[in-house]
Amino acid sequence: MTGDTARHRLTDVATFLDMMSAERGAADNTRAAYTRDLDAYLTFLDARGVVHRHAHAKDVQAYLAALSADGLAATSRARRLSSVRQFYKFLLAEGCIEADPTTALSGPKRQRALPKVLSVVEVDRLLSAAAQRTEVQEGRALFRALRFNCLLEILYATGMRVSELVSLPRSVVRGDQRVLTITGKGGRERLVPLNPAARVALDRYLAVSGRFDNSPWLFASKAAEGHVTRQGFALDLKDIAIEAGLDPERVSPHVLRHAFASHLLDRGADLRAVQQLLGHADISTTEIYTHVLQERLKKLVNDHHPLAKT
């Protein structure tokens, strides 16, 4: 790779990521995902001796074929192609290239997977196990138990994304604690209500979190981020799943977000209201939960209807 080519590569990627942040409100996690995807693609081109600005459709096709040969799932290959498409659309708009090599390419066919959810009984078991921890711990262990119990109660009460949950600013509890103001993807704000159980868990946690009063984070910790991390919370959630007698592989923060939405719709909640609570920009994203309910009803009929097995 020549010096000019290397500079073009770094500049093109950097300005593309800046555009995604400035014009589309891409969050840090989204930028990181684009960075990983483009680095993998550009590394592949380097191995073929191809400069990204001079790549053709056959080069992108070869990249997708290599991903498939490596056993990458169709959903992951489609996401990688989407990142490359966005990158080349940007370069074309900026006048850096004369033609987009991805224009005529079709992405890997993928069937949208239904979200994994837990039943109401299973969520109750998780909540009960977390609450029980707070009754048997002391000292530092009690603080951690109360913090985790609060995180879990708020997650199921609101259905917020785990990244939104762990990074809640402490200022969210200075107003009406019956609702929280959440800043989600793209800087969009939304209000989510707290149920009584979540408010009780929050009050108990705040009563013991005084040593973090100067922290800007609600769920402060000694982690480098200054707050509980997504990974740390996910690991704690798997531990409590084991205590609750559930398969830890079935339990994650995102599964609880799915459970929140599915349980609301199962009890007659309006789809638009659930969309607003989840912070989905497009209602088609929320509609996937109606398919979950339909599949559940099909299974109920197939398992229990007297004529289903004839």
> Which positions are catalytic?
161, 185, 254, 257, 280, 289
74, 117, 76, 109: which is closest to 290 by C-alpha?
Answer: 117
- Write the burial class of residue 198 (CB in 10 Å: 0-12 exposed, 13-18 middle, 19+ buried): buried
- Provide the 3-class DSSP secondary structure of residue 229: coil
Farthest-apart Cα atoms in the chain, separation:
73
First to last CA, the chain: 67
List own/partner pairs for 206-215 with CB under 8 A and 24 or more apart: 206/173, 208/142, 208/143, 208/146, 209/143, 209/147, 215/170
Radius of gyration for the chain, computed over Cα atoms and rounded to the nearest angstrom: 23
Integer angstrom CA distances of residue 109 from 72, 77, 112, 154? 13, 10, 10, 37
- Please name the residue that has the structure tokens 């769920």: 219
